[in-house]
Amino acid sequence: MKTKITLKELAKLLNVSVSTVSKALHDSPEISPKTVERVKELAKLHNYRPNPVAVNLKSSKSGTIGVIIPNISNTFFAKVLSGIEAEAQRLGLQVITYISNERLDREKQIVDRLTSGFVDGVLIAISEETQRKKEYDHFYNLVEYDIPVVLYDRININLPVDKIGIDDERAFDEATQLFISKGLEKIGLATSIHHLGVGKMRITGYKNALPNDKKTFIANSSRPEILREKIEKMLLKDKIEAVLCTDFESTMQVYRTAHELKIKIPEDLKVVGFMNKNVAAFLAPSISYIEQFPEKIGQGAMDLLARRLQNYPKEAMTSEKIISTRLEHLESTVF
């Protein structure tokens, strides 16, 4: 077993002081070129790497950032994490992952951990329960401890921090407009996330797009059986001609229910879903969907945080960044 070599050991081998070694490795102009060379050579030979924990203690930085993820099984969040991780690597930062499972108590625990100095900054998508109960006090602890926070995706929340997400309202407004422009009269919406900020925004986009003379049809429930019933009612009784889905679950429910009721997509029903290509393209028929570019959101979130880590006091203003979505047309919106 190899054991990690330390500055002290290098110094002894070279018959110089620890300070000289440290300075040499940092290319300090104080040190003679000859010494620098000797030191670096030996360091390389022994594959010396500074102990990050010691460096962190000295600099009172941890060199890591925390990411709070509400639900990692959601491919969207998994991909956001991927974007964060890639950008963090580029910046030389480590990513510590925390999963709240959409629960407020877990989120509080996590934030408590975070304030004890594990991380230099935090990226957060706020849990569902937290949003439902509107209890944001714990986040102010982070602010008080001067730990920069960036909210990602779930940004429709009144906290004085940087934010990055998509324009949920516009995406659904545009998708609804599309149906209207094709002359459809009865346009519905299915959602299992109507209590989330992002869900509300999407519903608002849909409603705003509908002219006053057009009725809204909304099937909403976070309980699968109920959602399924409401979708069935929309399809059979309301006889909607098109439906927008705000999330993966509702999209799959619409797909399955239409099939069971022998309602043909796209002939009898146009569908715009919210899911990733991996699934959308292989359904039969394939389902058009709103593409979100989660990796970009992750990368952007990391960049916003990195800016704060560099010169926090200088920039007082918080910024909000929006990543555009795109409606990807597959078979379910063929007219």
Give me the residues that bind DNA (CB under 7 A), please.
Answer: 6-8, 15-20, 22-23, 25-26, 29-35, 50-51, 54-55, 57-60
- Asked if 225 touches its own copies (CB under 8 A), the answer is no
Considering only 5, 18, 86, 91, the residue that binds its own copies (CB under 8 A) is 86
Strand 162-166 versus strand 187-191 pairing type:
unpaired
Interaction between residue 51 and its own copies (CB under 8 A): yes
Distance CA 33, CA 85 (A): 38
Q: Which of 179, 217, 255, 289 binds its own copies (CB under 8 A)?
A: 255
Q: Which does 82 bind (CB under 5 to 8 A by kind): its own copies, DNA, none?
A: its own copies
- For residue 175, give both structure tokens: 């998708």
- With CB under 8 A as the contact rule, the residue among 97, 208, 319, 324 that binds its own copies is 97
Strand order in the sheet with 242-245: 217-220, 187-191, 242-245, 270-273, 288-291, 326-328
Smallest distance from its own copies to CB 211, Å: 33
Question: CB–CB of 190/219 below 8 Å?
Answer: yes
Enumerate residues 6+ apart whose C-beta is below 8 A from 148: 120, 121, 122, 161, 162, 305, 308, 309, 312
For 2, residues 6+ apart whose C-beta sits below 8 A from its C-beta are none
Residues 308 and 150 sit within 8 Å (Cβ to Cβ): yes
Closer residue to DNA in complex, CB, 49/223: 49
Is residue 11 a contact partner of residue 17, using CB atoms and an 8 Å limit? yes
Q: 39 or 275: whose CB is closer to its own copies? A: 275
- Residue 169 burial (10 A CB sphere; 0-12, 13-18, 19+): buried
User: Applying CB under 8 A, does 54 fall inside the site for its own copies?
Assistant: yes
The answer to whether 91 contacts its own copies (rule: CB under 8 A) is: no
- Residue 313 binding result from its own copies, DNA, none, given CB thresholds of 5 to 8 Å by partner type: none
Do the Cβ atoms of 289 and 274 come closer than 8 Å?
Answer: yes
Q: What is the largest CA-CA distance in the chain?
A: 88
Comparison of 39 and 80: residue with beta carbon closer to DNA: 39
Does residue 253 interact with its own copies by CB under 8 A? yes
- When the beta carbons of 45 and 55 are compared against DNA, the nearer one is 55
User: Taking CB under 8 A as the rule, does residue 219 contact its own copies?
Assistant: no
Q: Residue 179 to residues 140, 171, 270, 285: CA-CA distances in angstroms? A: 43, 13, 8, 18
Beta carbon of residue 119, minimum distance to its own copies (angstroms, whole number) = 9
Name the segment binding its own copies (CB under 8 A); options: 15-23, 97-105, 181-189, 192-200: 97-105
Does 179 bind its own copies (CB under 8 A)? Our answer is: no
- Closest separation in Å from C-beta 331 to its own copies: 11
* CB of 335 closer than 8 Å to CB of 266: yes
Instruction: For residue 26, state whether it binds its own copies (rule: CB under 8 A).
Output: no
Tell me whether strands 242-245 and 187-191 are parallel, antiparallel or unpaired.
parallel
Rounded-to-integer distance, Cα 252 and Cα 232, Å:
13
Stretch that binds its own copies, among 56-64, 152-160, 187-195, 231-239 (CB under 8 A): 56-64
In three-state secondary structure terms, 278 is helix
Q: Between residue 121 and residue 140, which ones bind its own copies under the rule CB under 8 A?
A: none
18, 25, 78, 218: residue in contact with its own copies (rule CB under 8 A): 78
- The reply to whether 98 sits near its own copies by the rule CB under 8 A is yes
User: In angstroms, rounded to a whole number, what is the distance separating the alpha carbons of residues 88 and 312?
Assistant: 18
Question: Which spans of this chain sit near its own copies (rule: CB under 8 A)?
Answer: 1-4, 49-54, 56-57, 60, 62, 64, 72-73, 75, 78-79, 81-82, 85-86, 89, 94-99, 101, 109, 115-118, 144-146, 248-249, 252-253, 255-256, 259-260, 276, 278-279, 282-284, 286
